[in-house]
Structure 1
């Protein structure tokens, strides 16, 4: 596996500094995964741009975390599963729901189930939703515009999931309790 430096804002390439500052401000810490992605200014800045759009969508933060956790599990991204388990719990998602997703099962909450199912289906079927899959999401109380918002979340998580799998940064102390092996 390649060995990528885990940057600080000071040690990062010049083109990555602003993106890292924005992520540090958003999270209160600089996640090791972001500090690794900073090796590529193009990738970190792409992530920051889509990150801002994802977190200003019409979905709630708990709903966004359901999609991000489902994506991390579907992509078998160990770092992202731990990270998004912690964030989902911080956003009020129950430990039962997060554990269900980590076990590759569908959440009990109707909206969470629809979001998780759509996210997993988008990844597994490369965006090829059937009419029934699309209609099931809408029937759960979502809009057709929100289908596209979930696509944006999947795009953001693809960046972190793939980069995390390639670079394999260590988990920070607060996330170790949520370590996961796909």
Structure 2
């Protein structure tokens, strides 16, 4: 497999540096996945723009992390699973719910379970979701606009999940306790 570089703030292409700086400010570091994404200024800048929309939406940080973790597991993307496991716990998701998502089970929390089920169905069925999944989602207290917002989160995580699967960036020490294999 081809070796993809993991760029730093110093070594990244000039057009990728503003996005890397934004991610460094958000996370207190440049995650290795961002360093890999930086190999394409269009990709890294697109990602940062989409993630601003994700984090500026109506979901809580714990809900966003549950979606991102579900997406990473469904896309079998090891680096993002470890990263979003760590962030989900930091955002207040229970260890049991994080573990359930990592094991492709529904979390105990009904609203988190509805988010996870919808995200998984969207990915596995390429957007063709049964009415029952949407009805369950709405029954958990969400509305149709939130269905569309879940699609935004799926779109955002697709960029990092696919990049992780192709570039295979190394996992940082701080996330090693959450390492995962498909």
Q: Give TM class, smaller chain.
A: over 0.9
- Alignment match, 2:78: 78
TM-score computed with the length of structure 1 as normaliser? 0.98
Residue 12 of structure 1, CA deviation: 0.4
Deviating 4+ runs (over 6 angstroms): none
When normalised by structure 2's length, the TM-score is 0.98
Compute the displacement of 1:15 (Å).
0.8
Residue 110 of structure 1 corresponds to 110
* Secondary structure, aligned partner of 2:29: coil
Distance across 2 between alignment mates of 1:142 and 1:100 = 21
Matched residue, 1:177: 177
- The superposition leaves residues 75-117 of structure 1 with CA deviations (integer Å, 9 ceiling, x where unpaired) of 0000000000000000011111101110110001000000000
- 2:126 is matched with 126
Question: Matched residue pairs, number?
Answer: 182
Per-residue CA deviation, residues 118-165 of structure 1 (Å, 9 max, x unaligned), is 000000011111222211111100010011110000001100000001
Structure 1: where are the runs of 5+ without partners?
Answer: none
Structure 2 segments unaligned to the other structure (5+ residues): none
> 2:42 is matched with which residue?
42
Aligned counterparts of 2:122 and 2:89: Cα–Cα separation in 1:
24
Question: Which residue in 2 is equivalent to 1:2?
Answer: 2
1:136 paired to 2:122 = no
Counterpart position of 1:157: 157
Looking at structure 2, the residues matched to 118 and 68 of structure 1 have their Cα atoms a distance apart, in angstroms, of 12
